[in-house]
Amino acid sequence: MKDRTQVGIVGAGPAGLLLARLLKVHGVESVIVEARSRKYVEDRIRAGVLEQGTVGLLEEAGVAERLHREGLVHDGVEIGTDRRRFRIDFRELVGKTVTVYGQTELTRDLIAARLASDGPIIWEASDVAIGDPTSSQPRLTFQVAGERRELICDFIAGCDGFHGISRPTLPESIRSTYERVYPFGWLGILADVPPCSPELIYASHDHGFALASMRSPTRSRYYLECDLDEKIEEWPDARIWDELEVRLGSPNIVRGPSIEKSIAPLRSFVSTPMQYGRLFLAGDAAHIVPPTGAKGLNLAASDVHYLCRALVAHYKTNNDELLGAYSDTALARVWKAERFSWWMTTLLHKLHAPESFERQMQIAELEYLASSRAAQSMLAENYVGLPF
> Would you call 295 a catalytic residue per the annotation?
yes
Dist. CA 10–CA 380, nearest whole Å: 34
Spot the catalytic one: 101, 223, 306, 383. Answer: 383
Spot the catalytic one: 101, 182, 202, 222. Answer: 202
> Would you call 74 a catalytic residue per the annotation?
yes
pLDDT tens for the 388 residues of the chain, in order: 679 999 999 999 999 999 999 999 999 999 999 999 999 999 887 778 999 999 999 999 999 999 999 999 999 999 998 778 999 999 999 999 999 998 999 999 999 999 998 789 999 999 999 999 999 999 999 999 889 999 999 999 999 999 999 999 999 999 999 999 999 999 999 999 999 999 999 999 999 999 999 999 999 999 999 999 999 999 999 999 999 999 999 778 999 999 999 999 999 999 999 999 999 999 999 999 999 999 999 999 999 999 999 999 999 999 999 999 999 999 999 999 999 999 999 999 999 999 999 999 999 999 999 999 999 999 999 999 999 9
> Would you call 291 a catalytic residue per the annotation?
yes
- Residue 351, Cβ neighbours under 10 Å: how many? 18
Spot the catalytic one: 295, 305, 314, 349. Answer: 295
Sign for the CA dihedral angle at 204, 210, 211, 217 comes to: negative
Dist. CA 274–CA 157, nearest whole Å: 10
Spatial CA neighbour of 78 closest among 222, 192, 185, 202 = 202
Domain ranges of the chain: 2-72+99-178+267-345, 183-266+350-383
Paired sense of beta strands 121-122 and 98-100, if any: unpaired
User: In a 10 Å sphere around its CB, with 0-12 CB exposed, 13-18 middle and 19+ buried, how is residue 384 labelled?
Assistant: buried
**What single-letter amino acid sits at 268?**
S
- Class of domain 183-266+350-383 as given by CATH: alpha beta
Residues 6+ apart with CB under 8 A from 145: none
What is the pTM (predicted TM-score) of this model? 0.95
Rounded to 10 deg, the angle between the 52-60 and 14-25 helix axes is 50
In CATH terms, are 2-72+99-178+267-345 and 183-266+350-383 the same topology? no
Spot the catalytic one: 14, 24, 74, 306. Answer: 74
Under CATH, what is the fold of the domain 2-72+99-178+267-345? FAD/NAD(P)-binding domain (3.50.50)
CB 293 within 8 A of CB 337: yes
Q: What angle do CA 274, 275, 278 make, to 5 degrees?
A: 155
Dist. CA 300–CA 307, nearest whole Å: 11
